[in-house]
Amino acid sequence: MEKSRSILKSGIIGAVLTLVSGLVNSTPGSLVGASWYGWPVTWVTKLVIAPQYFPWVVNWYGLVEDFIFWFVIAYIVGYMYCVLTMPKSDASAKTTANKVGAKAKGKR
């Protein structure tokens, strides 16, 4: 249950960070005629010379790649937080219980 909850939290955080990264202008200096948004993967392009249609273009593959990137980052940060904040007594108690259980199985 705890693992599925951490995956859900990482997914929500990844989605929020992906949408916020869409506000970051990542246009290369030599590009003229369009502005790119999204970091580290560009997934939104705004055509500067406004066409007759909607000037925003979404790259769906870039959006998915950006989401996966932020999901992995959020999961790693959450995992490291759990590992670093786990009380030492809980970790040693689990290790001791595993050793005792292994010895008990070996004696049978």
Domain ranges of the chain: 2-95
Angle between helices 2-21 and 60-85 (to 10 degrees): 130
Q: Over the chain (108 residues), what is each successive 10-residue block's mean pLDDT?
A: 83 94 87 86 85 84 95 93 80 56 56
Phi, then psi, of 59 in degrees rounded to 5: -95, 105
User: What's the token pair of residue 37?
Assistant: 């948004």
pLDDT score of 10: 92
pLDDT score of 33: 81
Nearest to 26 by CA among 35, 34, 18: 35
pLDDT score of 15: 94
pLDDT score of 49: 78
Distance, C-alpha 50 to centroid of its chain: 33
